[in-house]
Amino acid sequence: MSHLTQTSIKSGINVPIGHLIVVPKWKNSDLSTTLQSSIQVLYDDNLGLIDFYPSSNTGVVYITEAELVTNSYRRRLAKLRKANKIPIVVIGERTGTSSQYFCSLQKFCVMELGFSLIPVPSQKEAGTFLAQMVHVEGHKETNPFTKKKRSSPLDQALLASVKSIPKLGEVKSRTLLEKFGSLQAISKASIQELTAVVGKASAENIRTFLGNPS
């Protein structure tokens, strides 16, 4: 059965603390090897359109280099947006080959659908990020008193999405998020509002990248 005809999101999934639930297609991959070196991995072939569950209330989708180049990810992500059951984080494989197509993924994924997007150069980097998500989720469950001291995986994903705007950098990305709260709000801000936060050159670059040139 094609993954596009499956149920979008499996209902009632329960992820044990410190575990990651993964679809079997990732077995024997570099990503799986990286994961198994630091966390417990459980395979489930009935996850719908989701690739990974780092917690019971967060789903992660991996967009490969080939999917980026062929633009074959849109239907899958649109179905997940329509299902609208849990927060979705999208990991996009940004390589030398796929880099020129990444802007289209970002605009569709973040601006149109409202998902968080994480660019990674390889499966190993993706595995490290997923393991970090599992550790953060586990810490939140076992020690709620430290919850405010740690950024959630979705906070990290949102920062990474803003940082992927060319020439912006982490400091200005954090400043923008403190001011506007989301990438959608940043995209709707006027050139004057952006200039007041990051300066004219960066403001113009943001507007051009997000498809709203001044």
**What SS3 class is residue 40?**
strand
- The CA distance from 68 to 199, in Å, is 32
- Token pair of 30 as six digits: 């570099």
Q: What is the pLDDT of residue 153?
A: 56
Reported as a single tens digit per residue, the pLDDT across 140-192 is 554 444 444 455 555 666 777 777 777 788 888 888 888 888 777 887 888 89
Non-local CB neighbours of 51 within 8 Å, separated by 6+ positions? 22, 23, 26, 60, 61, 62
- pLDDT above 90 as % of the chain: 33
Query: pLDDT band for position 11 (50/70/90)?
Result: low
Q: For 66-84, how does the pLDDT look when each residue is reduced to its tens digit (9 = 90+)?
A: 999 999 999 999 999 998 7
Confidence of residue 44 (pLDDT cuts 50, 70, 90): very high
pLDDT band at 214, cuts 50/70/90? low
Return d(Cα 172, Cα 183) in angstroms, integer.
Answer: 13
**pTM for this prediction:** 0.71
- Interior CA angle at 199 toward 198 and 203, to 5°? 75
